[in-house]
Copies of this chain bind each other. A is one copy, B any other.
Amino acid sequence: MTSITIRRARRDDVGRIVAMLADDPLGSARERLEHPLPPSYFDAFDALDRDPDIHLVVAQDGEAGVVGCLQLCILPGLSSQGAPRALIEDVRVDASCRSRGVGEQLVQWALTEARQRGCKLVELLTHNTRTDAQRFYLRLGFQPSHVGMTLRF
């Protein structure tokens, strides 16, 4: 396992995170990896950074810098006797750092945080084509119990 630190994302990480989101067959069509980055990315960062229920974290490798990211949302709701629910989004690991435990450390961080916040359920959607990701989450204890349905405007 690579020795990494999981820490809260900062505004100056936004470029690295967007680069990882864009470095992907599904993500490349959706992102605009330009210099300078479109301001909408920074507006979104500011919005999530001030929300106490949204946690955007990065995996920091001492030498390589930021090599992974994950967003955890803690969502209040009535079901399950009013326990909050956790949603994991935008898990990415830099292509140069795959299979070294970075993704696992990010997800384990999220599971620990979700448990500490009183969540009884953690959920995520992974694209049907990402069979490697599905195996990865199975290994960490997730079940493919649901159909993830999406609608894009």
Asked if A51 contacts B78 (CB within 8 A), the reply is no
| A146 nearest CB neighbor, chain B only | B148
Asked if A79 contacts B30 (CB within 8 A), the reply is yes
Could you say which residues of chain B place their CB within 8 Å of the CB of A123?
125, 148-151
Asked if B152 contacts A120 (CB within 8 A), the reply is yes
Interface residue A65 (Cβ < 8 Å from any Cβ of B): no
A residues 76-110 near B (Cβ < 8 Å) are: 76-85, 87, 89-90
Could you say which residues of chain B place their CB within 8 Å of the CB of A48?
76-78
Asked if B145 contacts A40 (CB within 8 A), the reply is no
Could you say which residues of chain B place their CB within 8 Å of the CB of A137?
149
Asked if B21 contacts A79 (CB within 8 A), the reply is yes
Asked if A148 contacts B125 (CB within 8 A), the reply is yes
Interface residue A119 (Cβ < 8 Å from any Cβ of B): yes
Asked if B144 contacts A30 (CB within 8 A), the reply is no
A residues 13-68 near B (Cβ < 8 Å) are: 14, 17-18, 21, 27, 30-32, 38, 40-45, 47-48, 51, 53-54, 56
